Amino acid sequence: MAPSGITFTLDLEHHWYAEDRNRFVAPAIALLAMADRAGARGTVFVLGEVADSHPDLVRKFADAGHEIALHGYHHTPLPKLDVQQMRDDIVRGKAVLESLTGQACVGYRAPYFSLTPASRAVVPVLADLGFSYSSSVLPAASPQFGWPGAPTTPFRWAEGLVELPVPVALFFGRGLPYLGGTYLRVLPTWFTSLGLRRGADQLHWTYTHPYDLDDDEPFTVIPQLGRAQSRLLWIRRRSMMARTERLLGAAPGRPLAERVADELTDVAVVAL
């Protein structure tokens, strides 16, 4: 498979650590404007709660030609849910998005990339509900959720849908994401360039949370994280927009659903 460009993806969710439930709106709008400047159409993984509380914001992304996909109704890690709870969450979120946009919602990203061996049971649920792809596996060891040993290139689950794993490349023997979140924001640009070379056979997409772009937010220590990790969540936010814009400016990709339909028709089934 020859990768064609870099797709931007946004996880449209509240700042999970902040009491202000509107704080995420301004950075999301700034990303929308940047995508317009870059001439890029991408995929927005929307939290069902956000679609209910901020329908006009979701419509703005849809009207600009971006794909509206699902990030779950609530932002609950999958391993904390049983199969029925997973299904209820996904059914509810999908219905909210489809009634808002009038379009089929065919993409799903688990909160925290939490599709792991412990939550593998979500895959038949996604297939049954008509999703054509998932973007939920981090194929490396991770402080939160990861699936070391899972393929690092797109693959097909036995149930039929395609998985788009987080692009990771080996650095000092460890698989690290090089196109998103804190990694893209904090690590030097050569790291991203090297990742793109080492992961040349992967499907390339960036991922961003609104807080990654919220460069006006004053620094506070988030009790759950402590000072050092809170700092990591806060620093270099201004650089995130510029970095994403540069990556898209060089090679803007298309929404993930379109790429799955056009570029990934022959990906092989992997038994996991």
Residues of this chain that interact with Zn ion (CB under 5 A) are: 11, 13, 111
Q: Which structure tokens are listed for 267?
A: 């990906």
Q: What are phi and psi of 78, to 5 degrees?
A: -55, -40
Write down the least CB distance from residue 105 to Zn ion, Å.
16
Write down the least CB distance from residue 272 to Zn ion, Å.
22
Question: Toward Zn ion, which CB reaches closer, 53 or 193?
Answer: 53
207, 181 contact by CB (below 8 A): yes
Which residues, 6+ apart, have CB-to-CB distance to 255 below 8 Å?
Answer: 7, 41, 42, 43, 66, 67
Beta-carbon neighbour count of residue 82 at 10 Å? 9
Beta-carbon neighbour count of residue 239 at 10 Å? 15
Question: Toward Zn ion, which CB reaches closer, 207 or 267?
Answer: 207
Write down the least CB distance from residue 45 to Zn ion, Å.
7
Question: Toward Zn ion, which CB reaches closer, 3 or 234?
Answer: 234
Beta-carbon neighbour count of residue 219 at 10 Å? 11
Going by the DSSP 8-state scheme, the letter that residue 177 receives in this structure is: E
Write down the least CB distance from residue 71 to Zn ion, Å.
6
- Judged on CB neighbours under 10 Å (0-12, 13-18, 19+), 135 is buried
Write down the least CB distance from residue 11 to Zn ion, Å.
4
Which residues, 6+ apart, have CB-to-CB distance to 181 below 8 Å?
Answer: 207, 208, 209, 212
Question: Toward Zn ion, which CB reaches closer, 13 or 214?
Answer: 13
Nearest residue to the partner Zn ion, using Cβ: 11
Write down the least CB distance from residue 142 to Zn ion, Å.
14
Question: Toward Zn ion, which CB reaches closer, 11 or 163?
Answer: 11
Write down the least CB distance from residue 241 to Zn ion, Å.
18
Question: Toward Zn ion, which CB reaches closer, 13 or 89?
Answer: 13
Question: Toward Zn ion, which CB reaches closer, 71 or 254?
Answer: 71
* Alpha helices (H) along the chain: 25-38, 48-53, 55-63, 83-101, 122-128, 181-186, 189-198, 226-234, 237-250, 256-263
69, 61 contact by CB (below 8 A): no
Cross-strand pairs, 177? 168
